[in-house]
Amino acid sequence: MTEIMTLQNVSVHFPVRGALPFLRKGEIQAVSDVSLSIHRGEIFGIVGESGCGKTTLASAMVGMIKPTAGQVLFEGVDLNRLPRDEFKKMRRRMQMIFQDPFSSLNPRFNVYQIVSEPMLIRGEDDEETMKARVVELLELVGLSSQDLYRYPSDFSGGQRQRLGIARAISLNPSFLVCDEPVSALDVSIHAQILNLLLELQEKLNLTYVFISHNLADVKKMCDHLAVMYLGKVMEAGNSDKIFANPMHPYTQALIAAILDIDFSEEREIIVLPGDTPSPINPPSGCRFWQRCPKAMRGCREVPPEYVEVEPDHFVACHLVNGFPDQELPEGYDQPMVPREKVPGR
C-alpha cells in the first residue's frame, strides 16, 4: 500500500491575546506534534471529543491551515513548499465535506450553481459540459436532474448533505475529508449517507479521512484510526487491532462511554471525572493525566512517548510503554491515589 498523506511532527498553534496586547496569555495548542500516515484507498478515522483538534488537523492536511511546525506531505510532496499555482492544483485533489449541511451551502444558489461552482472556479466555461457533469454527479449521490434548479431550502438535511458530497467530488478529488458528515442529520438518515460514502469510495477510488466522535461509526467505517485528546494522538493504528485491544485508558473510556441499546449484555461504564482541560497552556506531562483513572505520579510531569507497541498499533501512555530512561520524580510509578486536587479549567 502506498502512502497518500504523511504528517511529520505537525503542530498547529493559535495565538491567544490577553486583555492587553503585551500580556500574552499563551497559545492554543490545537494540534501538537502529530505524525501519521494515510494509505491510498483507505478510510482513516479521527476520533476524540469536541475541541481536541480533529478539524484543525484535517484542515492542515488539505492545506487550509498552515502548520506552525512540521510537514504535510501529499503524495510525497510538501504542500507548504509548493509555489502558489502548484499548490492550488494540488488542493483541488483534496476536498472537504462539512458537518453542517445547513450553513455550508449558499442559500441563494440553486443546485446547479452549487455543484458547478468548483468547476467554474477551475475555469470550466462550457455550459453543456458542466450541466452534463452536474447531472451525473447528482445521480451518483442519489438525487436527480429534476433537482437541478431547486434551492437548498427545498431539501431535507440528508439531501443537503448529498449536495455537499456532490460538490466535493465534482473535481475528481482523490482525497476527501468528511468532517462529522452525519452528526447534524436525523438518525434514520445516518445510515443512508454513510452507505453512500462507502459506495462512492469504492466507485471513485477515494481515500477518506473520516472525522467523528461516534466510535461505533468509526469502527464500522475505518481501516485505520487515530484517537486524539487535547491536540495529541493518544493511540493510533489498525482499527481492528485498536478495538480488539484498546491500550490507552482514554480509548478504553471512550469505548466504554458508548451507550448501548442492548439490554441483554451488562457492560461496565467508566465515567471519567472532570472535564477536558483548556488547550491554552495544556497540562504538562501526559495531557490526559487529570482525568485518567490509572494515572501515576510521573504522568503529570513526563510526557509519554509515542511508541509502536505492535505492528501498526501506536500508543502514547506510560502505563503501556513504561517511563523513559531519564531522571524521574520520586514515586513516579505510584498510582495517584488519593486523587490529588485537580485544577478546574
Ligand X SMILES: Nc1ncnc2c1ncn2[C@@H]1O[C@H](COP(=O)(O)OP(=O)(O)OP(=O)(O)O)[C@@H](O)[C@H]1O
Positions touching ligand X (CB under 6 A) are: 14, 28, 30, 48, 50-56, 213, 279
The tally of CA atoms less than 13 A away on the side-chain side of residue 167 is: 28
Contact partner, 20, from ligand X, Mg ion, another protein, none, Cβ < 5-8 Å per class: none
Contact partner, 158, from another protein, Mg ion, ligand X, none, Cβ < 5-8 Å per class: another protein
323 lines the binding site for another protein (CB under 8 A): no
187 lines the binding site for another protein (CB under 8 A): yes
189 lines the binding site for another protein (CB under 8 A): yes
Q: Which grid cell sits at 113?
A: 450553481
Q: Which of 57, 180, 276, 279 binds another protein (CB under 8 A)?
A: 276
Stretch that binds another protein, among 129-137, 208-216, 230-238, 325-333 (CB under 8 A): 208-216
CB of 53 to ligand X, least distance (A): 4
| Closer to another protein by Cβ: residue 95 or 276 | 276
59 lines the binding site for Mg ion (CB under 5 A): no
d(CA 54, CA 48): 7
207 lines the binding site for Mg ion (CB under 5 A): no
CB 126 within 8 A of CB 171: no
326 lines the binding site for another protein (CB under 8 A): no
Contacts of 258 (CB under 8 A, 6+ apart): 214, 215, 216
Q: Give the binding-site size for another protein (rule: CB under 8 A).
A: 46
Q: Which of 5, 178, 221, 336 binds another protein (CB under 8 A)?
A: 221
Q: Which of 6, 29, 32, 55 binds Mg ion (CB under 5 A)?
A: 55
| Closer to ligand X by Cβ: residue 17 or 89 | 17
Q: For residue 7, which phi and psi values (nearest 5 degrees)?
A: -110, 130
**Residue number with the smallest Cβ distance to Mg ion:** 55
| Closer to another protein by Cβ: residue 126 or 260 | 260
Chain length of the chain: 345
Decide the pairing of beta strands 224-229 and 24-39. unpaired
SS3 assignment, position 25? strand
Q: Which of 78, 86, 126, 260 binds another protein (CB under 8 A)?
A: 260
Structure letter (DSSP) for residue 130: H
Structure letter (DSSP) for residue 101: T
Helix axes 111-122, 127-140, angle to 10 degrees: 120
CB 95 within 8 A of CB 62: yes
CB 72 within 8 A of CB 37: no
Interface residues toward Mg ion, by CB under 5 A: 55
